[in-house]
A and B are shown apart, each in its own frame.
Chain A
Amino acid sequence: MSAETTRKRGIEARAALLDLMPRQEEAARRRLAELVENVAAKRPPTTSFSRFWILGSLQAKVTCAYLAYWLRSRWADAEERERLKSETHLKAALELLGTMGYLRGAVMKLGQMLATFPDALPDEFARLLPALHFEAPPMHYAMVREVFLDEFGKEPHELFASFGKEAFAAASLGQVHRARLHTGELVAVKIQYPGIARTIESDLKNLRLLMQPMRLGEDWGNVVAKLAEVERVLLAETDYLAEASFAQTVRDSFTPGEGIVIPRVYHDYSTRRVLTTEHLEGVHLEEFLDSAPSQEMRDRYTYLMTVATMRMLYRTHWLLADPNPGNYIFMPDGRLGLVDFGCTRQLSEEEWQMQVEVEDALLRRDEEEMERLVVKASLYDSAEQMGRERLELIGRVIRWQLEPWLSDGIFDFGDEDFFRRGMDAMIEVTRKGFMRGMPVHIWTTRFILGARGVVYRLKGRCDFQEIYRRESGRGGEESTMTSRNEASPPPEGEGQGGGR
């Protein structure tokens, strides 16, 4: 690469970074961009550890930019001295991001979670959301063999009829290999990177220590609670046996005719660190979109995704806490495959009650009750204590999240205006630093944003309310839970308001 090209690339990277920063206050913006860039560009002593070096990838830079953006909102109005102090902390934070957990542990996820949302266009935003999933470093086959010896006392080629040495997909904590059982079935074998749980623990501990002096004010207690929540969910994700059991529960809640496929778990080939499931043929979102699918297909998959997530929510009170396009398999026969149930969160009785109360208030269009619930969810005692501005803004986000619940007929998730409104509200919330809330809302927000990002890109539509009524058994005159099992996706083109 010539020096000129390198220089140009540098400028482009800089511009991309700047784009991710808040647009007001030019000077602060530039300084932050420089800071992020300097730390990001700094090479580790061993020159080219790009795979381990968290700041080495664009993805990581974006995460850093997010984090910077979020932290920045903390001192937007501070005095110069305060700013400099905060900047020092920020610099330390970014450097820590680079060195802590060369395993690229929880930080990537944290970056996204604490993260805020840039002034991106809806399309960019929809792409960014899922691009930010953290990954364990890749394992070569020698490592995989050692993991198998520890887990099964056997080598992969002894356990399986055949085993792909190269991974075919990344998973958040490891990677996935194709294999064939001696009985002939093609399977997907997810293998966890050794010791990742400890990395998550130590990374979060470091992050807590590091954030301590940043004086996050009255919300500090809430930040600590959220970090604990994140740690709990991430650590739960390291137990593949728990995931296997959850996948089985989900699988049992669908019938073959519904067009939704949850891969079967092969328990004899699964342990806490290795999970073997049926391999589903199909493509991921990108590839599906590249095939220029018809509106009917887009709608069909939107329908199936909605049914699938609602079934999980209303039947088991579980959220896919970390939905990303890789979880969806667009199968050649038009069925939807759902894979990877690692990062999930079950709502507690109290949290579920809250969900029910919000839905009730929403469907009754009881504004007073809605306000009470928004205050409660934000962990305030009263609307006065919460403050008008915060109440209005948080209310706006929650109402946007619930908008499909109130819309009759076909809901268009591809509507740019709808998507933009939601993102704008989220950006505003973050800009104001209104982060306080029940820890579980980290996941409900991710759940909704992740799913909305996918259906927005799908440009898909479905009769959301009808699905809601059927799956929840609530909110309508006819509670048709009993007929659920006969439900099948709408035949292509049926009553969908004319495809493009």
Chain B
Amino acid sequence: MRISEQAKQLCRARILEKAAELFAARGFDQTTTRDIALAVGVAAGTMFNYFPSKETMAMTMVNEALAQGREEFLTRLDGGESLEEELFLLIGTELRRLRPLRPFLGPVLERSLSPFPRKSVCPEGETARQEHLECVRQIMLRHGFVTTPEDVAGTIYWSLYLGILASWTGDQSDNQESSRALIDYAIRTFVQMISGAHRGGDHVR
């Protein structure tokens, strides 16, 4: 029997939903694919047709949240933002969307987004990287900077971004406000670096 596309989508959504619940309740590492299959009420084999691993499930959630964040980011722009502000707004909006996943995000991001060479590259992690960097590229283009994800600026940006994510996932402060200061600092570092200008601005008085 062939199941409809709609039923497939529902099943996929249900897997993600249950997986998110279990990850949040038990932690990512403590949850097995078997646990998830049990909770969803499908056979493990069926589940693998949708997601080959729990990493893929988690990164799919991450990618969906990030994509929503980027979409929302575009609606928040009023056109008068500086490069720093746009980047800040992008990351801020993305992280707000990621927030519900935060309790189990640490190990997931560490494994999927690591810049170190790995045996198996997580395709969803690679998608996350490409899509985020593409958005950054568009922002930079709007402000007169041309860059590709593979050039030095792109690499440095990605390192700073990973640093932000690492800090944010472990940030115990209210609303992760410590990370907000870090994002501000990291973005200023990046913009200063690529513009090489002596900007900085004094404090309003």
| Chain A residues close to B by CB (< 8 Å) | 46-52, 56-57, 102-103, 135, 137-143, 145-147, 149-150, 166-170, 175, 193-196, 198-199
- Chain A minimum-CB-distance residue to B181: A195
B69 to chain A, nearest CB (A): 13
B144 at the interface (CB under 8 A from A): no
| Chain B residues close to A by CB (< 8 Å) | 76, 81-82, 84-86, 88-89, 92, 96, 173-175, 177-181, 184-185, 188-189, 192-193, 196-205
A140 in contact with B185 (CB, 8 Å): no
Q: Give CA–CA (A142, B185) in the complex, Å.
A: 13
Given contacts A140-B84, A150-B175, contact A51 B185 (CB under 8 A): no
B92, B199, B200: most-surrounded residue (chain A CB, <10 A): B200
A48 in contact with B192 (CB, 8 Å): yes
B55 to chain A, nearest CB (A): 30
- Chain B minimum-CB-distance residue to A168: B204
B201 in contact with A47 (CB, 8 Å): no
B108 to chain A, nearest CB (A): 24
Q: Give CA–CA (A145, B89) in the complex, Å.
A: 9
Q: Give CA–CA (A141, B184) in the complex, Å.
A: 12
B174, B179, B189, B204: most-surrounded residue (chain A CB, <10 A): B204
- Chain A minimum-CB-distance residue to B86: A142
User: Which listed residue, A52, A150, A193, touches B188 by the CB 8 Å rule?
Assistant: A52
Given contacts A102-B185, A149-B96, A198-B173, contact A49 B85 (CB under 8 A): no
- Note all chain A residues with C-beta closer than 8 A to B82: 140
- Note all chain A residues with C-beta closer than 8 A to B85: 140-142
14 additional A-B residue pairs with CB within 8 Å, beyond A50-B200, A51-B200, A145-B76 = A47-B196, A48-B198, A50-B202, A137-B203, A139-B184, A140-B82, A142-B84, A142-B89, A143-B88, A143-B184, A147-B180, A193-B181, A194-B178, A196-B181
- Chain B minimum-CB-distance residue to A51: B200
- Note all chain A residues with C-beta closer than 8 A to B188: 49, 52
7 contacts between A and B (CB under 8 A): A56-B200, A103-B181, A140-B88, A142-B86, A146-B88, A146-B92, A195-B178
- Note all chain A residues with C-beta closer than 8 A to B189: 46, 49
- Chain A minimum-CB-distance residue to B185: A102
B177 in contact with A47 (CB, 8 Å): no
A480 to chain B, nearest CB (A): 41
- Chain A minimum-CB-distance residue to B175: A150
B96 in contact with A169 (CB, 8 Å): no
B204 in contact with A194 (CB, 8 Å): no
B78 to chain A, nearest CB (A): 9
A135, A137, A169, A195: most-surrounded residue (chain B CB, <10 A): A195
B180 in contact with A195 (CB, 8 Å): yes
Q: Give CA–CA (A47, B203) in the complex, Å.
A: 18
- Note all chain A residues with C-beta closer than 8 A to B199: 48
A138 in contact with B204 (CB, 8 Å): yes
- Chain B minimum-CB-distance residue to A286: B205
Q: Give CA–CA (A139, B197) in the complex, Å.
A: 19
A52 in contact with B81 (CB, 8 Å): no
- Note all chain B residues with C-beta closer than 8 A to A169: 204-205
Q: Give CA–CA (A141, B192) in the complex, Å.
A: 18
- Note all chain A residues with C-beta closer than 8 A to B193: 46
- Note all chain A residues with C-beta closer than 8 A to B203: 51, 135, 137-138, 170
B177 in contact with A194 (CB, 8 Å): yes
B204 in contact with A167 (CB, 8 Å): yes
- Note all chain A residues with C-beta closer than 8 A to B205: 169-170
Q: Give CA–CA (A170, B204) in the complex, Å.
A: 6
User: Which listed residue, A57, A135, A175, A198, touches B178 by the CB 8 Å rule?
Assistant: A198
B196 in contact with A194 (CB, 8 Å): no
- Note all chain A residues with C-beta closer than 8 A to B89: 142, 145-146
- Chain B minimum-CB-distance residue to A196: B181
Q: Give CA–CA (A193, B88) in the complex, Å.
A: 15
- Note all chain B residues with C-beta closer than 8 A to A102: 185
- Note all chain B residues with C-beta closer than 8 A to A52: 185, 188, 200
Q: Give CA–CA (A309, B185) in the complex, Å.
A: 39
Q: Give CA–CA (A52, B120) in the complex, Å.
A: 41
B15 to chain A, nearest CB (A): 31
B177 in contact with A195 (CB, 8 Å): yes
Given contacts A143-B88, A198-B178, contact A47 B184 (CB under 8 A): no
B181 in contact with A199 (CB, 8 Å): yes
- Note all chain B residues with C-beta closer than 8 A to A143: 88, 180, 184
